[in-house]
Chain A
Amino acid sequence: MKSFVFLAAAVFAVGAAWAQPMPPDNPPRPTMAPSPTNAETGARPRPHRATGITYELAVEAAETAVAHCAALPKDYRVTALVTDSAAVPIALVTGNDGAAITQRIAMGKSQLVVKYKTASTDAVAKAKSDSAFRDELAANPLIVAARPGGLPIMLNGQFVGTISVSGTPDGHDDECAKAGLDKIQSRLKTF
């Protein structure tokens, strides 16, 4: 009973924090959320990740994606993010000197994939012809807009997570994410 109240307080605190208006645009907001409150750190149990791939595979895929983009003629410096099926990051890797904001953009792509269980390019196509869908994305602060570069990770027909890449200005994010996923697809294991 007490823990319920505690949880409620924690959830309320989170909501309040995230409901605050965005801070001024410059300097850009930090990638990571602010320090958790004492209520949040004290809350028990501490849920671990949802179903997702094992962390070593996640790192291998992320590093492969970053390396694939860096090996393209324009030497793109990107962020690759692998999340579990609930959009909790498992591995986040940013290539040398990749822009910080690519980390948040990648997170938005993974949130989209988790919510709609579709590659983010498919959502881009749908948003072009479907204004209600576009508005729905815009109204979701965790997504904002559909952008290519986010892929679902599927294992035996089950959705087990996402891989997203951000940082190429001319449409190579998908290719790099796919290279990362291809590297591990045949060995996928979930935790």
Chain B
Amino acid sequence: MRSVSLAVLAALLAAGPAAAQMGDMPGMAANPGPTIAPPPTAAELKLPRPARARGIPGALAAEGALTAISTCLGNGYKVTGLVTDTAGVPIAMISGDGAAAITQRIAMTKAQAVLKYKMTSGEVAAKAAADKSFAAEVKADPMIETARQGAIPIMIGSEMVGAFAVSGAPGGDKDEPCARAGLAKIADRLR
């Protein structure tokens, strides 16, 4: 037991600022690293701010994400809904009450898989299961690593304008219907 405590202590020390932040939360199990990257450095702040890639309006994104969350809640699952633009920048990210914090980062991996391969993340997972070199490519991408079902492309006609991801149900096959319901709610108003 002592060696375990020492290992935890050593790991916490090594983990530095992120872990120190977690240590500020008495009585809480540690969350696995912040969802959103740290604030920009002074140098980053001075850079020109690039125009956003194609995406859908913020209000529609939030409405779709809320619908996905309530759909999953109706099935008994507490999830995060994430809508991104075509560059993977979030437009709306909403976590339902009781959804695990890590589902936010998992949802992002699904959205990245959709955007990179222009198919559902479930199709990416199926392809990775059947194709070793493709699986290795997925694993080598630090924004994806593991392909998981639960995200779908947002299409206007034949053009992809973003990704809609859900995470939190016990299995991507249970996340994807919620993403589809969320997207269906806003599909005829997309622009």
- Which A residues have a C-beta under 8 Å from some C-beta of B? 1, 4-5, 7-12, 14-19, 22, 25-38, 40-41, 43, 45-50, 54-56, 58-59, 62-63, 66, 81, 86-101, 103-105, 107-108, 111, 115, 140-145, 191
Contact = CB atoms under 8 A, between A and B. Distances in A.
B39 interface: yes
A89 B94 CA distance: 8
A48 B100 contact: yes
A17 B106 CA distance: 16
B90 A31 contact: yes
B119 interface: no
A50 B25 contact: yes
A5 B102 contact: no
Given A15-B14, A30-B88, A97-B52, A8 B7 contact: yes
Nearest to B9: A8
Contacts of B8: 4, 7-8, 11
B98 A48 contact: yes
Contacts of A19: 14-17
B37 interface: yes
Contacts of A34: 105, 142-143, 145
Contact of A47 (B14, B36, B51, B100): B100
A32 to B, nearest CB: 5
B97 A191 contact: yes
Given A28-B47, A32-B90, A100-B89, A15 B18 contact: yes
Among A96, A99, A107, max chain B CB count under 10 A is at: A96
B28 A50 contact: yes
B177 to A, nearest CB: 20
B96 interface: yes
Contact of B101 (A22, A47, A145): A47
B34 A107 contact: yes
Q: Which 10 A-B pairs have the closest CB atoms?
A: A15-B15, A108-B39, A46-B100, A12-B11, A99-B49, A191-B97, A14-B33, A35-B145, A107-B36, A47-B29
A63 B12 contact: no
A125 B18 CA distance: 26
B133 to A, nearest CB: 19
A101 B101 contact: no
Given A59-B62, A90-B95, 6 more contacts: A15-B16, A55-B69, A89-B95, A92-B94, A94-B89, A111-B21
A46 B93 CA distance: 19
Contacts of A49: 95, 97-99, 101
Given A30-B37, A33-B35, A88-B35, A11 B30 contact: yes
Given A15-B15, A18-B16, A141 B109 contact: no
Nearest to B108: A32
A96 B36 contact: no
A140 B38 CA distance: 10
A105 B33 contact: no
Contacts of B29: 45, 47
Given A26-B47, A38-B146, A40-B32, A93 B58 contact: yes
